[in-house]
């Protein structure tokens, strides 16, 4: 069973607003429970699914049921990469579906979509379940949400915006969880340091002296950063864009 806890409202089980580092802690905690003692950077998709079929979030236990080959369209009829759903006829479960037709043979896209949808399940399913048990809560929610969350085609590490200039906090939250799940900051930092040293990329001491050096962004050209990102993407089994965003968000490139 995957056990996670985070600040939330009672009795609705709606999550409180979390900062990115707080979400990273949750993603890293989920990864530790999924991989155990294994230290391989590339998270195995089948293991991720198998170890997250039963969850306990803030003391509320529920199951997840995964479908990997389903064709998915959103409310507007547009193709979507994934969806998390809750049905009151199956009150203590979440259905997580990945669009196998869109994902095709892209292992990195399957991995990131699964991590993203798991993030939605972790943060949103408890409130859905609680509403099914106590219908009166529908009028008391701090942050009302539909009981279906689609992952649009713009998947990956960058926040998805539903309206220009207005962030979709649930998509951002699921992305940050997925980022820390697939490439935790400490693990990415270690592998970045090794590859950057091998490539001769200049590095500087970070603000926290006990950490490994970070990339000297002002002294490093675009091509060198791209080569590093390509290497790390292969190591972690994710996209190049994913790595570039994680390096920036984690503060592993100084001066950028």
pLDDT on residue 207: 74
Q: How far apart are CA 104 and CA 98, in angstroms?
A: 10
pLDDT on residue 209: 67
pLDDT on residue 166: 45
Domain that holds residue 126: 2-182
Q: How far apart are CA 79 and CA 63, in angstroms?
A: 26
Distance from the Cα of residue 37 to its chain's centroid: 21
Q: How far apart are CA 40 and CA 38, in angstroms?
A: 6
Of the residues 182, 215, 236, the one at which a domain ends: 182
Residues 174 and 206 in one domain: no
pLDDT on residue 206: 82
Residues 216 and 164 in one domain: no
Burial (Cβ within 10 Å: 0-12, 13-18, ≥19) of residue 221: exposed
pLDDT on residue 127: 94
Helices (H), the chain: 20-35, 45-51, 100-103, 107-133, 169-182, 185-199, 222-236, 240-249
pLDDT on residue 155: 38
Residues 175 and 202 in one domain: no
Residues 175 and 196 in one domain: no
Residues 82 and 118 in one domain: yes
pLDDT on residue 73: 87
pLDDT on residue 89: 84
Question: How many C-beta atoms surround the C-beta of residue 24 within 10 A?
Answer: 20
3-state DSSP helix/strand/coil percent for the chain, to nearest 5? 45, 15, 40
pLDDT on residue 183: 98
Residues 42 and 166 in one domain: yes
Residues 192 and 112 in one domain: no
Residues 218 and 135 in one domain: no
Q: How far apart are CA 144 and CA 137, in angstroms?
A: 10
pLDDT on residue 160: 37
Q: How far apart are CA 81 and CA 110, in angstroms?
A: 9
Residues 173 and 249 in one domain: no
Mean pLDDT of successive 10-residue stretches along the chain, which has 256 residues = 96 95 98 89 97 97 94 88 90 94 93 97 95 69 51 41 60 97 97 96 83 92 95 98 96 86
Query: Could you give the C-alpha distances from 96 to 55, 67, 130, 136, in angstroms and in order?
Result: 13, 6, 18, 26
Residues 172 and 213 in one domain: no
The length of the chain is 256
Of the residues 151, 182, 213, the one at which a domain ends: 182
């Amino acid at each position: 069973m995957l056990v996670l806890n985070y600040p939330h409202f009672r009795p609705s089980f709606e999550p409180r607003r979390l900062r990115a580092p707080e979400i990273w802690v949750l993603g890293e905690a989920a990864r530790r429970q999924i991989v155990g003692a294994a230290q391989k950077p590339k998270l195995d998709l089948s293991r991720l699914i198998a170890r997250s079929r039963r969850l306990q979030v803030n003391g509320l236990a529920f199951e997840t049921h995964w479908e990997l080959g389903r064709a998915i369209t959103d409310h507007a009829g547009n193709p979507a990469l994934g969806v998390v759903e809750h049905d009151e006829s199956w009150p203590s479960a979440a259905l997580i579906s990945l669009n196998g037709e869109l994902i095709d043979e892209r292992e990195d896209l399957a991995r990131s979509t699964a991590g993203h949808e798991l993030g939605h399940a972790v943060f949103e399913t408890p409130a859905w379940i609680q509403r099914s048990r106590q219908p009166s809560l529908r009028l008391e929610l701090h942050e009302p949400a539909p009981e279906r969350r689609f992952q649009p085609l713009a998947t990956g590490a960058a926040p998805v915006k539903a309206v220009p200039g207005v962030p979709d906090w649930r998509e951002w939250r699921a992305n940050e969880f997925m980022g820390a799940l697939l490439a935790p900051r400490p693990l990415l930092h270690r592998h970045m340091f090794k590859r950057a040293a091998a490539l001769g990329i200049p590095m500087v001491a970070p603000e926290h002296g006990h950490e490994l050096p970070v990339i000297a962004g002002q002294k490093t050209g675009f091509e060198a950063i791209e080569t590093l990102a390509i290497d790390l993407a292969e190591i972690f089994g994710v996209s190049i864009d994913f790595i570039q965003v994680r390096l920036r968000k984690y503060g592993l490139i100084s001066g950028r």
